[in-house]
Amino acid sequence: MGGKSCFFIGHREASEEIYPALYAAVEQNIVEYGVTEFIAGHYGGFDPLAASAVKEAKRFYPEVRLTLLLPYHPAERPIPMLEGFDGTFYPPGMESVPHKVAIVRANRYVVDHVDYLIAYVWHPTSNARELLEYAQRRERKGKIAVSVLQHNFLPAKN
């Protein structure tokens, strides 16, 4: 991972309603922070939204790259190159990681190696929440900058 980089973490239940805020966060990372590489997974609902925001931004910022994070070895679980991605990344040392924790471990590896994180997390107990809290501890040490997209579960007023 070269240059300034940004990773995404979020819950699979992400709705397209967050897309405008997500795109704004991507554009802010490019324009204000100088991010040229975004890393996204491909599981759940949030990852495709994040990838879509970066693909849209690439139309205006051609220097931006989008990398697909592979939590499983590509020889074991081949994944065709997804449209709009510029490459894939399989973290080193993942070959010995049990499959049931591969996504968690790959995500943590990336959080340890990027400059920025865009998160969409609201479940009180989840792997995404734990990773966000881990990233926020790293942020307090000046090792990463974290942006958290807000999720509103406010009851409708009668």
Confidence of residue 27 (pLDDT cuts 50, 70, 90): very high
* Mean pLDDT on 60-67: 97
Mean pLDDT rounded to a whole number for the chain: 90
Q: Which two tokens stand for residue 88?
A: 């894939």
Query: Which residue range is the domain that position 121 belongs to?
Result: 4-8+17-32+42-148
Angle of CA points 59, 64, 70, to nearest 5°? 115
Give the count of domains, the chain.
1
The alpha carbons of the chain give a radius of gyration, in whole angstroms, of 15
**Alpha helices, H only, 5-152:** 19-31, 46-60, 102-113, 127-140
Structural domain contains residue 37? no
Confidence of residue 88 (pLDDT cuts 50, 70, 90): very high
CB 88 within 8 A of CB 70: yes
How far is residue 87's CA from residue 64's CA, in Å, rounded to a whole number? 12
Does residue 108 register a pLDDT over 70? yes
Which CATH number is 22's domain given? Answer: 3.40.50.450
